[in-house]
Amino acid sequence: MKHETAIIIGVGAERGTGAAVARRFSTGGLNIVVAGRNEERLEKRRDEIIASGGCASVHVLDVRKEDEVASLFNKVEANHAPIRSVTFNPGANVRHPLRETETWLFEHLWRVSCFGGFLVSREATQRMAANGGGSLLFTGATGSLRGANGHSAFAAAKAGLRMVAQSAAREYGPQGVHVAHIIVDGAINGDKIRQGFAARAAELDAMDLMDNMLDPDAIAEAFWQLHVQPKSAWTHELDLRPWTEKF
């Protein structure tokens, strides 16, 4: 019998949001498809899920390319149907003064976050609506709501993705597709922080202050709760931040 499937797009580091969401949905009983650009990392995440008793497969794609996004959904439907949940998690945060932000960088961030989100949304919503509904979850950021100094390209891309999510929710919510946008407001206690700021991470560890940052597994739990949320009380937008984060 074919399992219901969750597609997690934007899976990389072991301690990252995408990988954590994949693990949580696996423990929830769904077959997992981990998707992204780095095949080696994807295979590691797949193997970890299988080693934990889950079922997972890998699909390499570039979310900026329409044919590759369509191919992902076609292949998943052929092998793992029905698709019950899709998480869109790609994105890269870079800081550049406005005057120094080159056009290629601005367009690149927009294509990954906003345009990629549109392509995935277009494929996911129509398929889930025709198959009894499901959840479409978008990872947002502080930049989804405001443009910080030096983050014009990132904020524009994330704000655009937020509008894609709102439009999809209004169109496909009445057809049984729960579209939610999750604003992750703060630093994530994952591999990027630990590798890029090792000294600071060690300092926080020593002071037992790592809960000053967002835990990837806690983020994943919020995604799961949105997926299983009763239709009578759906959340469209949710913001997550550590208890010490100012807002």
Burial class (CB in 10 A: 0-12, 13-18, 19+), 104: exposed
Please state which of the four CATH numbers 3.40.50.720, 3.20.20.70, 3.30.70.260, 3.40.50.300 is assigned to the domain occupying 5-237: 3.40.50.720
Question: How much is the pLDDT for 12?
Answer: 81
Query: Which of 21-25, 29-33, 97-101, 192-196 has the least mean pLDDT?
Result: 192-196
Residue 94: pLDDT band with limits 50, 70, 90: confident
Q: Give the chain's largest Cα–Cα span.
A: 56
CA distances from 195 to 87, 89, 189, 219 (A): 25, 20, 11, 20
Residue 1 has pLDDT above 50, yes or no: no
Question: How much is the pLDDT for 218?
Answer: 95
Residue 2: pLDDT band with limits 50, 70, 90: low
Residue 113: pLDDT band with limits 50, 70, 90: very high
Average pLDDT of every residue of the chain: 91
Question: How much is the pLDDT for 96?
Answer: 82
Question: How much is the pLDDT for 3?
Answer: 77
Question: How much is the pLDDT for 210?
Answer: 65
pTM of the model: 0.91
**pLDDT per residue over 168-205, tens digit each?**
999 999 999 999 999 998 778 777 777 766 776 676 66
Residue 82: cis peptide before it, omega within 30 degrees of 0:
yes
% of the chain surpassing 90 pLDDT: 72
Residue 71: pLDDT band with limits 50, 70, 90: very high
Measured distance CA(36)–CA(31) in Å, rounded: 17
Question: How much is the pLDDT for 45?
Answer: 95
